[in-house]
Amino acid sequence: AVLTGPEAMDFRRTILTTGSAAIRRKFIGRPAAEIAVAAGITRPWPIQLIVVGAGDADVESATALAREKMAPFLSLFTVADTAAGIALGLQLLAIEGSGHTAAIHTGSKASALAYANAMPASRILVNSPATQGVIGLTTGLPPSLTLGCGYFGGNSTNDNVTFTHLRNVKHLAFANTGLQA
């Protein structure tokens, strides 16, 4: 359900805390249909995802709409061009933390490359749903449910963390001096 202006206002009042700073705890992890009912949002079909328009004020105040969400709703930011999209992406990463992932949907390879070069993130996804792409379902990245943020996020790895990172391996290594052990 892509919300209209009045629906978005009702959503903010009901689902977000005062000032829209956070999602009310009772809605975290709840189904979209349940959240929609609480906010008075109806559609003639089952609601599985809620899309809420967001803007500059959400970024400036770092509201819940400018942060990661643990609920089935997305913030929709609209920008004028690639440069504005890159600037917005940088602002959002500054709020939530750099390093993990950034995603862009575009038909322009030049825009995708400009975005990738600018974003301080270890994984740049192009034309992929971020949740599925980052764990490898749609992108060919190594399958994982644990992700490192690497240099950008102050972590030791930027990999999709797999069993190879979690096993304890002891290495016996001889110097390459030409001597036989």
pLDDT tens, residue by residue, 81-91: 999 999 999 99
Neighbours of 39 (CB within 10 A): 24
pLDDT at 177 over 80: no
Query: Mean pLDDT of all residues in the chain?
Result: 88
Band of residue 167 on the pLDDT scale cut at 50, 70, 90? confident
Neighbours of 92 (CB within 10 A): 22
| Calpha distance 79→144 (Å, rounded) | 32
Closest CA to 100 of 127, 123, 68: 123
Contact 32, 43 (CB under 8 A): no
pLDDT at 165 over 80: no
- What angle do helix axes 109-118 and 82-96 make, rounded to 10 degrees? 30
What is the Cα gyration radius of the chain?
A: 21
* Amino acid at residue number 122: S
Better-predicted residue by pLDDT, 76 or 153: 76
What is the percentage of the chain residues whose pLDDT exceeds 90?
Answer: 60
Closest CA to 22 of 71, 77, 63, 70: 63
Band of residue 179 on the pLDDT scale cut at 50, 70, 90? low
Summarize pLDDT for 37-81 with one digit per residue, the tens: 999 999 999 999 999 999 999 999 999 999 988 899 999 999 999
